[in-house]
Structure 1
Amino acid sequence: MTLEGHEVVTDGLAPHFDRAVLIFNPARPGMGARIEVLEQELLAALPDMKVQIQPTAFAGHARDLARSAASKGSPLIISVSGDGGYNEVVNGVMDVSTTRAVCTVLPAGNANDHFRSMPVRQLTEAVRHGSVRRMDLLRITLSGEGADQIQYAHSYIGFGLTPLMAIGIEKGGKGKIRELFSVTRTLSGLEPFELERPDGATAQFDSLVLAIISRMAKYGTVSEKNNPNDGQFEVVTLPHSGRWRMALMTLRAVTLGLGRQPSVSSYSFTTRNAIPCQIDGEVVHVPANTQIFVESARHALTTI
């Protein structure tokens, strides 16, 4: 059975959840009341299911909590968060190679691109039926002077404009008007980055996005395609061409959308200079001369 192009696993393959694990940031306004309501809804759907409340205490704690939960039993791990919090949970689950955990996210962040791009499903109904689906992840490997670093993304990986927009929005404050002003300021200060392809050719870009989902940065539609379980991801590029081209691309993304983009199963390059990188909602800084390999981890995550 399928749901808008998303594989759904049924016919006896649906798991029996031995518990639900709610992972969330207790510092967010109104979170306590929301978790209490969610707990009651889950218990009403499945009265015999245990519900574990797992508040985070520091940045990166969600990954630790998810890893611990995924290492035993058959939990349903619910991240009540935005894209960044869900990224931590997904990576914690992927740390356990033999896990039987099922993941999902309920939006509770500033940006909820992943949730908005997935089919609408009523959580308690899905829990009651126990049907799950498998989706792809992006696996990024960073190879430099030290040991390889591997991380997973549930939605997108961006270089250039995308992470700088995230940094600008964080500094400029929340709210649509403030965020759009922050994006405008970011465009005025953006510098191109240079990369080297596997064949030795070099290229300069203003923006490079590798995406599973169709929507990102809250207001933009980067692709017409939205099928996160086909072993492919979209490559959205903007070669260095001047600020007016960047402005037009940004405007098109938030109005008409960018249309269909090339699909690949892997993408690799080497950074020629240090550049910021946004993995889902989180920004990391990549040193110069880092080999980057991004591939589709097909059906890596089981979700509901």
Structure 2
Amino acid sequence: MIKPYSLIAIIYNPKSTGASKRLARQLQRKLTKRLPEQKIKLIPTKHAGHAEQLAGEITRRYKRPLIVSSSGDGGYNEVVNGILHARKKGHEPVAGLLPAGNANDHFHELHTQDSVEAIAEQYEQYIDVLSFTATTKGQPVQRYAHSYIGIGLTPEAGYKLNQSRLKLLSEAWIVAKVLLFLSSVKVLINGEVRHYDSLVFSNVTKMSKILKLSQTAKPHDGKFEITAFRRRNKPQLIRSLLRTATVGLVGDRQETEYSFTTINPTLIQLDGEVMRIDAHCEVHVTIVPAALRCIV
């Protein structure tokens, strides 16, 4: 007999422009019908970062909760960080994602069945996560990413998308503008200054729905893939992106850790979240094997 979760918490953003609220309520109704004895709570967020706070509080309070994020990759990133920063001995939190965003890279990588069925039957799996350390505004920061970490084109486009009203401006136009005005990112690696149009660390095969980063990436192999586009002219970069979206990349290599030093203040994207890190800061990316237990 399957033991019920101590709580199923469904976190959603009531102000989301997507279907976060509708899908969260729909999941609650279906789960209540399927699991009438299960304690289920629908929890709205109130501000940016609130999902992470809520996930942390639930992780500390309940011994074996399932925390479902009705969101895209960015909202799920908050929940994952809340769980991983708050986890403690004897507690076994489980993460779940109800895809209500744009790309939903993590969901499409792992999930093969109906969400209600997966939760009811407790189809769970441990996956690796990426860990990232740097400084921002002079303060050390440590964050986790469930799918990818990137500098260059990825966060520049993500930052513009986050700042825009997507119902008025198409994603394609925004990305095209970023490409047009993109400047390469300068970083220091092993004492050498290198220029990158894009540098991505990932444990998924696809990013932003169509970009095929790797043909061999797995979220539980104890490694991450590095996909690097060194500085090139715009026609060459566009050809590389087209190849990534059609044929796909083999991937530069696999690693368990990687370090570089920023030269200028730099935008970095962790899943769907974009942040600015300081100039002259040491950035360290590592893989944390089997760190997150999640519904698949």
On whether the aligned pair clears a TM of 0.5, the verdict is: yes
DSSP-derived class of the 2:170 partner: helix
CA deviation vs aligned residue, 1:15-46 (integer Å, no higher than 9, x gap):
64111000000123654443332112112222
For 2:106 and 2:168, locate their aligned partners in 1 and report how far apart those are by CA, in whole Å: 18
- Give the counterpart of 2:124 among 121, 132, 138: 132
- Give the counterpart of 2:216 among 225, 229, 233: 225
For 2:249 and 2:267, locate their aligned partners in 1 and report how far apart those are by CA, in whole Å: 23
Asked whether the equivalents of residues 20 and 71 of structure 2 are also in contact (C-alpha less than 8 Å), the reply is no
Runs of 5+ consecutive residues of structure 2 not aligned to the other structure: none
Letter in 1 for 2:147: S
Q: Tell me which residue corresponds to 2:15.
A: 27
Q: Tell me which residue corresponds to 2:285.
A: 294
**1:145 CA displacement:** 8.0
Asked whether the equivalents of residues 173 and 179 of structure 1 are also in contact (C-alpha less than 8 Å), the reply is no
For 1:178 and 1:35, locate their aligned partners in 2 and report how far apart those are by CA, in whole Å: 26
DSSP-derived class of the 2:221 partner: coil
1:111 matched to 2:103? The reply is yes
Asked whether the equivalents of residues 172 and 179 of structure 1 are also in contact (C-alpha less than 8 Å), the reply is no
CA deviation vs aligned residue, 1:141-166 (integer Å, no higher than 9, x gap):
11478442100001100101111111
DSSP-derived class of the 1:95 partner: helix
1:49 matched to 2:41? The reply is no
- Give the counterpart of 1:154 among 119, 129, 146: 146
For 2:186 and 2:26, locate their aligned partners in 1 and report how far apart those are by CA, in whole Å: 49
Aligned positions of 1:33-72 closer than 5 A: 33-72=22-61
Letter in 1 for 2:186: E
Aligned positions of 1:91-240 closer than 5 A: 91-98=81-88, 99-143=91-135, 146-171=138-163, 173-174=165-166, 178-197=170-189, 199-240=190-231
Cα separation, partners in 2 of 1:45 and 1:167, compared to 1, 3 Å: same
Cα separation, partners in 2 of 1:221 and 1:150, compared to 1, 3 Å: same
Runs of 5+ consecutive residues of structure 1 not aligned to the other structure: 1-11
**1:176 CA displacement:** 12
Q: Tell me which residue corresponds to 1:253.
A: 244
- Give the counterpart of 1:272 among 257, 263, 269: 263
Asked whether the equivalents of residues 9 and 40 of structure 2 are also in contact (C-alpha less than 8 Å), the reply is yes
Cα separation, partners in 2 of 1:277 and 1:145, compared to 1, 3 Å: closer
For 1:291 and 1:51, locate their aligned partners in 2 and report how far apart those are by CA, in whole Å: 42
For 2:182 and 2:204, locate their aligned partners in 1 and report how far apart those are by CA, in whole Å: 25
**1:201 CA displacement:** 2.0
Asked whether the equivalents of residues 4 and 38 of structure 2 are also in contact (C-alpha less than 8 Å), the reply is no
Cα separation, partners in 2 of 1:265 and 1:32, compared to 1, 3 Å: closer
Cα separation, partners in 2 of 1:32 and 1:142, compared to 1, 3 Å: closer
DSSP-derived class of the 2:68 partner: strand
Cα separation, partners in 2 of 1:144 and 1:222, compared to 1, 3 Å: same
CA deviation vs aligned residue, 1:235-255 (integer Å, no higher than 9, x gap):
000111221221111111222
Cα separation, partners in 2 of 1:172 and 1:56, compared to 1, 3 Å: closer
For 2:34 and 2:268, locate their aligned partners in 1 and report how far apart those are by CA, in whole Å: 40
Asked whether the equivalents of residues 138 and 153 of structure 1 are also in contact (C-alpha less than 8 Å), the reply is yes
For 1:261 and 1:78, locate their aligned partners in 2 and report how far apart those are by CA, in whole Å: 34
TM-score by length of 2: 0.91
Size of the aligned set, in residue pairs, is 291
RMSD of aligned alpha carbons: 2.1
- What fraction of aligned residue pairs are identical, expressed as a percent? 34
Letter in 1 for 2:72: G
